[in-house]
Amino acid sequence: MIDALIFSANAVLPIVLLIVLGYVLKRIGMLSREFLDVGNKLTFRVLLPAMLFYNVYQIESFSEISPVFVLYGIGMVLVIFGLAVAVTCAFTKDGAKRGALIQAMFRSNYAIIGIPLATSLFGDEGAAAAGVMSAFCVPMFNMLGVITLSIFNGKGEKGKINVPKILLGIIKNPLIIGTVAGLAVLGVRELFIMWNIEFRFSDVSFLYKSLENVKSICTPFALIVLGGRFEFSAVSRLWKEIVFGTVIRTVAVPILGLAVAYFFIPGLSGEHFATYIGVFATPVAVASAIMANEMGADGELAGQLVVWTSLVSTVTIFVYVTILRAIGIF
Protein backbone atom coordinates (compact mmCIF):
# COMPACT_ATOMS: atom_id res chain seq x y z
CA MET A 1 0.00 0.00 0.00
CA ILE A 2 2.88 2.37 0.72
CA ASP A 3 4.25 1.70 -2.78
CA ALA A 4 0.88 2.56 -4.31
CA LEU A 5 0.69 5.80 -2.32
CA ILE A 6 4.22 6.78 -3.34
CA PHE A 7 3.44 5.96 -6.96
CA SER A 8 0.27 8.06 -6.89
CA ALA A 9 2.06 10.97 -5.25
CA ASN A 10 4.89 10.79 -7.79
CA ALA A 11 2.35 10.94 -10.61
CA VAL A 12 0.35 13.91 -9.32
CA LEU A 13 2.57 16.03 -7.05
CA PRO A 14 4.92 17.23 -9.82
CA ILE A 15 1.88 18.84 -11.45
CA VAL A 16 0.89 20.52 -8.19
CA LEU A 17 4.44 21.77 -7.56
CA LEU A 18 4.68 23.41 -10.99
CA ILE A 19 1.34 25.12 -10.38
CA VAL A 20 2.68 26.34 -7.02
CA LEU A 21 5.81 27.63 -8.78
CA GLY A 22 3.70 29.67 -11.18
CA TYR A 23 1.68 31.06 -8.28
CA VAL A 24 4.83 32.09 -6.38
CA LEU A 25 6.46 33.66 -9.45
CA LYS A 26 3.33 35.75 -10.06
CA ARG A 27 3.20 36.88 -6.42
CA ILE A 28 6.84 38.01 -6.39
CA GLY A 29 6.33 39.97 -9.61
CA MET A 30 8.26 37.82 -12.09
CA LEU A 31 5.13 36.98 -14.12
CA SER A 32 2.94 39.83 -15.32
CA ARG A 33 -0.73 39.57 -16.27
CA GLU A 34 0.24 40.36 -19.87
CA PHE A 35 2.76 37.51 -19.91
CA LEU A 36 0.18 35.09 -18.53
CA ASP A 37 -2.39 36.10 -21.15
CA VAL A 38 0.11 35.63 -23.97
CA GLY A 39 1.32 32.38 -22.37
CA ASN A 40 -2.23 31.07 -22.29
CA LYS A 41 -2.62 31.75 -26.01
CA LEU A 42 0.80 30.24 -26.81
CA THR A 43 -0.08 27.06 -24.92
CA PHE A 44 -3.51 26.71 -26.52
CA ARG A 45 -2.50 27.53 -30.09
CA VAL A 46 1.01 26.07 -30.37
CA LEU A 47 2.31 23.94 -27.49
CA LEU A 48 -0.70 21.71 -26.79
CA PRO A 49 -1.36 20.96 -30.50
CA ALA A 50 2.32 20.04 -30.92
CA MET A 51 2.18 17.73 -27.89
CA LEU A 52 -1.00 16.02 -29.11
CA PHE A 53 0.50 15.53 -32.58
CA TYR A 54 3.59 13.95 -31.04
CA ASN A 55 1.65 11.69 -28.67
CA VAL A 56 -0.61 10.37 -31.42
CA TYR A 57 2.35 9.73 -33.71
CA GLN A 58 3.98 7.62 -30.97
CA ILE A 59 1.26 4.96 -31.27
CA GLU A 60 2.97 1.83 -32.56
CA SER A 61 0.10 0.27 -34.53
CA PHE A 62 -3.67 -0.03 -34.69
CA SER A 63 -3.43 -3.73 -35.52
CA GLU A 64 -3.85 -5.00 -31.95
CA ILE A 65 -6.76 -2.80 -30.90
CA SER A 66 -9.41 -4.49 -28.74
CA PRO A 67 -12.78 -3.17 -30.00
CA VAL A 68 -14.50 -3.84 -26.66
CA PHE A 69 -11.78 -1.97 -24.77
CA VAL A 70 -11.97 1.10 -27.03
CA LEU A 71 -15.74 1.16 -27.47
CA TYR A 72 -16.36 0.99 -23.73
CA GLY A 73 -13.97 3.87 -23.10
CA ILE A 74 -15.62 6.02 -25.77
CA GLY A 75 -19.15 5.03 -24.77
CA MET A 76 -18.66 5.69 -21.07
CA VAL A 77 -17.09 9.10 -21.72
CA LEU A 78 -20.20 10.00 -23.73
CA VAL A 79 -22.45 8.75 -20.92
CA ILE A 80 -20.48 10.80 -18.38
CA PHE A 81 -20.73 13.84 -20.65
CA GLY A 82 -24.52 13.49 -20.82
CA LEU A 83 -24.81 13.05 -17.06
CA ALA A 84 -22.47 16.01 -16.51
CA VAL A 85 -24.67 18.29 -18.59
CA ALA A 86 -27.78 17.16 -16.70
CA VAL A 87 -26.42 17.51 -13.16
CA THR A 88 -24.59 20.76 -13.87
CA CYS A 89 -27.62 22.42 -15.43
CA ALA A 90 -29.57 21.43 -12.32
CA PHE A 91 -26.79 22.77 -10.06
CA THR A 92 -26.26 26.24 -11.54
CA LYS A 93 -27.85 28.59 -14.07
CA ASP A 94 -24.61 30.47 -14.77
CA GLY A 95 -23.55 29.61 -18.33
CA ALA A 96 -19.85 30.31 -17.80
CA LYS A 97 -19.74 28.14 -14.67
CA ARG A 98 -21.67 25.40 -16.43
CA GLY A 99 -19.02 25.25 -19.14
CA ALA A 100 -16.17 24.94 -16.62
CA LEU A 101 -17.96 22.33 -14.49
CA ILE A 102 -19.09 20.12 -17.38
CA GLN A 103 -15.55 20.00 -18.76
CA ALA A 104 -14.20 19.13 -15.32
CA MET A 105 -16.48 16.11 -15.06
CA PHE A 106 -15.71 14.36 -18.34
CA ARG A 107 -12.27 15.67 -19.33
CA SER A 108 -9.34 13.93 -17.64
CA ASN A 109 -5.64 14.76 -17.59
CA TYR A 110 -5.10 11.67 -19.72
CA ALA A 111 -2.05 12.70 -21.72
CA ILE A 112 -0.04 14.06 -18.78
CA ILE A 113 -1.00 11.57 -16.04
CA GLY A 114 -3.05 8.76 -17.60
CA ILE A 115 -0.51 7.46 -20.11
CA PRO A 116 2.46 7.55 -17.68
CA LEU A 117 0.25 5.88 -15.06
CA ALA A 118 -0.60 2.95 -17.34
CA THR A 119 3.05 2.67 -18.37
CA SER A 120 4.22 2.61 -14.76
CA LEU A 121 1.72 -0.10 -13.85
CA PHE A 122 2.13 -2.42 -16.86
CA GLY A 123 5.23 -1.34 -18.75
CA ASP A 124 5.15 -1.60 -22.54
CA GLU A 125 1.75 -3.32 -22.54
CA GLY A 126 0.25 -0.50 -20.49
CA ALA A 127 1.87 2.11 -22.73
CA ALA A 128 0.49 0.40 -25.83
CA ALA A 129 -3.06 0.20 -24.46
CA ALA A 130 -2.97 3.80 -23.26
CA GLY A 131 -1.54 4.97 -26.58
CA VAL A 132 -4.32 3.30 -28.54
CA MET A 133 -6.98 4.84 -26.29
CA SER A 134 -5.40 8.28 -26.67
CA ALA A 135 -6.09 8.22 -30.41
CA PHE A 136 -9.80 8.02 -29.64
CA CYS A 137 -10.31 9.74 -26.28
CA VAL A 138 -8.12 12.80 -26.80
CA PRO A 139 -9.95 13.96 -29.96
CA MET A 140 -13.28 13.23 -28.28
CA PHE A 141 -12.33 15.21 -25.16
CA ASN A 142 -11.43 18.17 -27.34
CA MET A 143 -14.55 17.96 -29.52
CA LEU A 144 -16.82 17.67 -26.51
CA GLY A 145 -14.92 20.55 -24.91
CA VAL A 146 -15.54 22.77 -27.93
CA ILE A 147 -19.23 21.79 -27.99
CA THR A 148 -19.56 22.47 -24.25
CA LEU A 149 -17.88 25.87 -24.34
CA SER A 150 -19.71 26.91 -27.50
CA ILE A 151 -23.04 26.34 -25.74
CA PHE A 152 -22.17 27.19 -22.12
CA ASN A 153 -20.08 30.35 -21.82
CA GLY A 154 -20.16 33.87 -20.44
CA LYS A 155 -21.12 35.52 -23.71
CA GLY A 156 -24.86 35.44 -23.17
CA GLU A 157 -25.27 32.54 -25.59
CA LYS A 158 -26.30 29.74 -23.23
CA GLY A 159 -29.15 27.66 -24.49
CA LYS A 160 -28.58 28.78 -28.11
CA ILE A 161 -27.26 25.81 -30.03
CA ASN A 162 -25.73 27.05 -33.28
CA VAL A 163 -24.69 23.85 -35.04
CA PRO A 164 -22.66 25.47 -37.88
CA LYS A 165 -20.79 27.59 -35.33
CA ILE A 166 -20.05 24.53 -33.17
CA LEU A 167 -18.82 22.55 -36.18
CA LEU A 168 -16.64 25.47 -37.26
CA GLY A 169 -15.28 25.70 -33.72
CA ILE A 170 -14.38 22.00 -33.81
CA ILE A 171 -12.67 22.30 -37.20
CA LYS A 172 -10.70 25.41 -36.19
CA ASN A 173 -9.78 24.23 -32.68
CA PRO A 174 -5.96 23.98 -32.45
CA LEU A 175 -6.09 20.90 -30.20
CA ILE A 176 -8.24 19.01 -32.68
CA ILE A 177 -6.06 20.15 -35.59
CA GLY A 178 -2.98 18.80 -33.77
CA THR A 179 -4.65 15.45 -33.07
CA VAL A 180 -6.05 15.01 -36.58
CA ALA A 181 -2.69 15.95 -38.10
CA GLY A 182 -1.03 13.31 -35.93
CA LEU A 183 -3.57 10.69 -37.03
CA ALA A 184 -3.03 11.65 -40.68
CA VAL A 185 0.76 11.25 -40.42
CA LEU A 186 0.24 8.01 -38.50
CA GLY A 187 -2.03 6.77 -41.31
CA VAL A 188 0.64 7.61 -43.90
CA ARG A 189 3.17 5.69 -41.82
CA GLU A 190 0.88 2.64 -41.78
CA LEU A 191 0.55 2.85 -45.57
CA PHE A 192 4.34 3.08 -45.93
CA ILE A 193 4.65 -0.08 -43.83
CA MET A 194 2.15 -1.88 -46.09
CA TRP A 195 4.04 -0.74 -49.19
CA ASN A 196 7.45 -1.61 -47.70
CA ILE A 197 8.59 2.03 -47.85
CA GLU A 198 11.18 2.61 -45.15
CA PHE A 199 10.85 6.40 -44.86
CA ARG A 200 9.30 7.76 -41.61
CA PHE A 201 8.56 11.28 -40.39
CA SER A 202 10.98 10.62 -37.53
CA ASP A 203 13.75 10.15 -40.13
CA VAL A 204 13.65 13.90 -40.76
CA SER A 205 15.62 14.30 -37.57
CA PHE A 206 15.80 18.09 -37.39
CA LEU A 207 12.00 18.40 -37.66
CA TYR A 208 11.31 15.52 -35.31
CA LYS A 209 13.77 16.80 -32.71
CA SER A 210 12.24 20.27 -32.93
CA LEU A 211 8.81 18.76 -32.35
CA GLU A 212 10.13 16.81 -29.35
CA ASN A 213 11.56 20.01 -27.88
CA VAL A 214 8.31 21.93 -28.30
CA LYS A 215 6.35 19.02 -26.84
CA SER A 216 8.65 18.86 -23.81
CA ILE A 217 8.01 22.54 -23.07
CA CYS A 218 4.23 22.19 -23.11
CA THR A 219 3.35 20.60 -19.79
CA PRO A 220 5.63 22.58 -17.44
CA PHE A 221 4.91 25.88 -19.21
CA ALA A 222 1.13 25.29 -19.17
CA LEU A 223 1.19 24.44 -15.46
CA ILE A 224 3.30 27.48 -14.55
CA VAL A 225 0.90 29.74 -16.49
CA LEU A 226 -2.05 28.09 -14.75
CA GLY A 227 -0.44 28.67 -11.36
CA GLY A 228 0.17 32.31 -12.21
CA ARG A 229 -3.53 32.76 -12.92
CA PHE A 230 -4.59 31.02 -9.70
CA GLU A 231 -6.26 33.17 -7.03
CA PHE A 232 -6.84 31.84 -3.50
CA SER A 233 -9.31 34.67 -2.99
CA ALA A 234 -11.62 32.90 -5.43
CA VAL A 235 -11.88 29.80 -3.21
CA SER A 236 -14.27 31.38 -0.71
CA ARG A 237 -16.41 32.73 -3.53
CA LEU A 238 -16.44 29.51 -5.60
CA TRP A 239 -16.23 26.88 -2.85
CA LYS A 240 -19.59 25.25 -3.69
CA GLU A 241 -18.66 24.84 -7.35
CA ILE A 242 -15.15 23.62 -6.42
CA VAL A 243 -16.48 20.96 -4.02
CA PHE A 244 -19.22 19.92 -6.47
CA GLY A 245 -16.86 19.54 -9.43
CA THR A 246 -14.03 17.96 -7.45
CA VAL A 247 -16.19 15.27 -5.81
CA ILE A 248 -17.79 14.29 -9.11
CA ARG A 249 -14.45 14.25 -11.01
CA THR A 250 -12.43 12.32 -8.42
CA VAL A 251 -15.09 10.08 -6.82
CA ALA A 252 -18.33 9.69 -8.79
CA VAL A 253 -16.86 9.42 -12.31
CA PRO A 254 -14.12 6.87 -11.44
CA ILE A 255 -16.50 4.67 -9.46
CA LEU A 256 -19.02 4.66 -12.32
CA GLY A 257 -16.45 4.05 -15.06
CA LEU A 258 -14.43 1.38 -13.28
CA ALA A 259 -17.36 -0.44 -11.64
CA VAL A 260 -19.33 -0.84 -14.86
CA ALA A 261 -16.21 -2.12 -16.62
CA TYR A 262 -15.52 -4.64 -13.83
CA PHE A 263 -19.04 -6.02 -13.46
CA PHE A 264 -20.41 -5.83 -17.00
CA ILE A 265 -17.58 -5.80 -19.57
CA PRO A 266 -15.92 -9.21 -20.05
CA GLY A 267 -12.44 -9.88 -21.36
CA LEU A 268 -10.68 -6.77 -20.05
CA SER A 269 -7.08 -7.11 -18.85
CA GLY A 270 -5.07 -5.30 -16.21
CA GLU A 271 -3.55 -2.89 -18.72
CA HIS A 272 -7.07 -2.03 -19.90
CA PHE A 273 -8.10 -1.10 -16.36
CA ALA A 274 -4.89 0.89 -15.93
CA THR A 275 -5.90 2.85 -19.02
CA TYR A 276 -9.42 3.37 -17.65
CA ILE A 277 -7.94 4.85 -14.47
CA GLY A 278 -6.27 7.37 -16.75
CA VAL A 279 -9.54 8.11 -18.54
CA PHE A 280 -11.88 8.23 -15.54
CA ALA A 281 -9.83 8.87 -12.36
CA THR A 282 -7.11 11.38 -13.22
CA PRO A 283 -7.65 15.07 -12.41
CA VAL A 284 -9.10 17.67 -14.74
CA ALA A 285 -7.06 18.31 -17.88
CA VAL A 286 -4.92 21.46 -17.82
CA ALA A 287 -6.22 22.19 -21.33
CA SER A 288 -9.74 22.63 -19.92
CA ALA A 289 -8.70 25.78 -18.05
CA ILE A 290 -6.83 27.11 -21.07
CA MET A 291 -9.81 26.49 -23.35
CA ALA A 292 -12.20 28.01 -20.82
CA ASN A 293 -10.14 31.20 -20.78
CA GLU A 294 -9.96 31.32 -24.56
CA MET A 295 -13.62 30.53 -25.26
CA GLY A 296 -15.39 32.74 -22.72
CA ALA A 297 -16.25 30.29 -19.93
CA ASP A 298 -15.29 30.74 -16.27
CA GLY A 299 -11.52 30.32 -16.59
CA GLU A 300 -10.97 31.08 -12.91
CA LEU A 301 -13.27 28.25 -11.81
CA ALA A 302 -11.74 25.92 -14.41
CA GLY A 303 -8.26 26.67 -13.04
CA GLN A 304 -9.40 26.07 -9.47
CA LEU A 305 -10.83 22.70 -10.49
CA VAL A 306 -7.53 21.67 -12.11
CA VAL A 307 -5.65 22.48 -8.90
CA TRP A 308 -8.06 20.91 -6.43
CA THR A 309 -8.75 17.74 -8.42
CA SER A 310 -4.97 17.31 -8.79
CA LEU A 311 -4.56 17.52 -5.02
CA VAL A 312 -7.47 15.20 -4.18
CA SER A 313 -6.56 12.66 -6.87
CA THR A 314 -3.24 12.07 -5.12
CA VAL A 315 -5.32 10.15 -2.58
CA THR A 316 -8.12 8.80 -4.76
CA ILE A 317 -5.85 7.30 -7.46
CA PHE A 318 -3.98 5.50 -4.68
CA VAL A 319 -7.31 4.12 -3.42
CA TYR A 320 -8.40 2.88 -6.86
CA VAL A 321 -5.04 1.26 -7.60
CA THR A 322 -5.08 -0.44 -4.20
CA ILE A 323 -8.63 -1.76 -4.68
CA LEU A 324 -7.87 -3.11 -8.16
CA ARG A 325 -4.79 -4.85 -6.77
CA ALA A 326 -6.82 -6.32 -3.92
CA ILE A 327 -9.42 -7.86 -6.28
CA GLY A 328 -6.77 -9.29 -8.57
CA ILE A 329 -6.99 -6.95 -11.55
CA PHE A 330 -3.43 -5.64 -11.06
Residue type, 330: F
CA distance 249 to 245: 6
Q: Which residue has the higher pLDDT, 120 or 104?
A: 104
The closest alpha carbon to 244, from 305, 322, 319, 162, belongs to 305
Distance (Å, whole) CA 260 – CA 267: 13
Q: Which of 115-119, 157-161, 311-315 has the highest mean pLDDT?
A: 311-315
Average pLDDT rounded to a whole number, residues 298-303? 90
Best mean pLDDT range from 25-39, 231-245, 313-327: 25-39
Q: How far apart are CA 171 and CA 273, in angstroms?
A: 32
Lowest mean pLDDT of 58-62, 125-129, 168-172, 303-307, name the range. Answer: 58-62
In eight-state DSSP terms, residue 201 is G
Residue 10 reports pLDDT greater than 50: yes
DSSP reduced 3-state for 284: strand
Domains and CATH numbers, the chain: 2-326 (1.20.1530.20)
Convert the pLDDT of each residue in 40-83 to its tens digit: 889 888 988 888 788 777 776 666 668 899 999 999 999 999 99
Task: State the average pLDDT over residues 95-103.
Answer: 93
Distance CA 254, CA 62 (A): 26
Give the CA angle between residues 106, 112, 113 to the nearest 5°: 75
Position 7 pLDDT exceeds 70: no
> Which residues, other chains included, contact 206 with Cβ-Cβ below 8 Å and sequence gap of 6+?
none
The verdict on pTM exceeding 0.75 is: yes
Q: Does the CA dihedral 76-81-86-90 come out positive or negative?
A: positive
